[in-house]
Amino acid sequence: MKIAILSPVAWRTPPRKYGPWEQVASNIAEGMVEQGLDVTLFATGDSFTKGKLVSVCKQPYAEDSNVDAKVAECLHISCLMEDADQFDLIHNNFDFLPLSYSRLIKTPMVTTIHGFSSPKILPVYKKYSSTGNYVSISNSDRSPELDYIATVYNGINADEFIFSHESSEYLLFFGRIHPEKGVYESIQIAKQSKRKLIISGLIQDQEYFDLKVKPSIDDNDIVYIGNSGPDERNKLLGGAFALLHPISFEEPFGLSVAEAMFCGTPVIAFNRGAMSELIHDGRTGFLVNTIEEAVEAVKNIKLIDRKYCREWANSRFSRQKMIEGYLQVYQQILF
């Protein structure tokens, strides 16, 4: 079976630091190679894979200001579509734009919907719903206006996350610095819990960071350490007393939540989006609705078995589990 995996080109695949869609595309590609499939990854030129790599964009546009994002995306997607007949199946991890090619080629396409950036993109998904072979990454992220072939949870390579039996005393925020991700709320939870908070993530909203986050940073109780790569991520997640995830939007998945549990670290999250699918409430962390409830949950973190956090994550969010899910999808489409 010859499979083309289409990854975005904002970041490298896999990403050096931030880049969740690129990370999942990489996990799919490498997992399928291990299953013996003939895999071609379409990604940036600095990406790496055990399969074949095809690229027209040498550098990720989010890392090189000289690259025009729209031009890069146009050339990248058309590169695959013009050679579509070389593949048995295309696995699109690049949102809605590739769908506009899908009726111009004979090769079937499966599209993983990694969330909806805006209701304004729904018309494209609706137009191709009957032929798009859509996969949702959580049941909560399904649109009632679309048809889906399956839900396949994002899968993580467990070997990349070191289990930690013991934790330090700090709380951790790990994710985009953006109002919807709850950095300010994490600061309030930490202050009321009288615990140190370490903040790590890409600043996506500079004004929000300057007004709501930066004033609390004192490099002692509230610490911002920037955007962390894989090595720092392991240490941060594994050493945390708990990961705080007080989101204010319907998050479609939340890779950091699963990654924390792979390290044995419990998660305290606002009960929105896919959080009830990721977190076993009371066993791998706590689902809460307010800052006050989160503060109370911090007091109960020591009741959580860190070993069970790892076991739970591995049973539901491993790369192998994801690959099994997508292989079933591929077979359903092709056979």
Q: What is d(CA 257, CA 254) in angstroms, rounded to the nearest whole number?
A: 6
pLDDT on residue 209: 98
Give the C-alpha distances (Å, rounded to integers) separating 98 from 2, 23, 52, 112, 267: 19, 19, 20, 11, 35
pLDDT on residue 43: 98
For residues 26-44, average pLDDT: 98
pLDDT beyond 90 at 76: yes
Q: Look at phi and psi of residue 199 and say left if phi exceeds 0, alpha if psi is from -120 to 50, else beta.
A: beta
Architecture of domain 2-155+318-334: 3-Layer(aba) Sandwich (3.40)
Residue-wise pLDDT for 194-249, tens only, equals 999 999 999 999 999 999 999 999 999 999 999 998 889 999 999 999 999 999 99
CATH annotation of 158-316: 3.40.50.2000
Q: What percent of the chain has pLDDT over 70?
A: 100
3-state DSSP helix/strand/coil percent for the chain, to nearest 5? 40, 15, 40
Q: Is the separation of the CB atoms in 274 and 138 below 8 Å?
A: yes
pLDDT beyond 90 at 335: yes
Residue-wise pLDDT for 125-150, tens only, equals 999 999 999 999 999 999 999 999 99
Q: Does the reported pTM lie above 0.85?
A: yes
Helix and strand numbers, DSSP H then E, in the chain? 11, 13
The alpha carbon dihedral of 197, 198, 204, 205 has a sign of positive
Which H/E stretch holds residue 2?
strand 2-6
pLDDT on residue 230: 86
pLDDT on residue 231: 85
Domain regions of the chain by residue span: 2-155+318-334, 158-316
Q: 2-155+318-334 and 158-316: same fold?
A: yes
pLDDT on residue 185: 98
pLDDT averaged over every residue in the chain: 97
pLDDT beyond 90 at 32: yes
The identity of residue 121, as a single letter, is: I
Concatenating the DSSP letter of every residue in 14-64 gives S-SSS-HHHHHHHHHHHHHHHTT-EEEEE--TT---SSEEE-S-SS-TTT-
- Closest C-alpha among 156, 158, 140 to residue 148: 140
SS3 278: helix
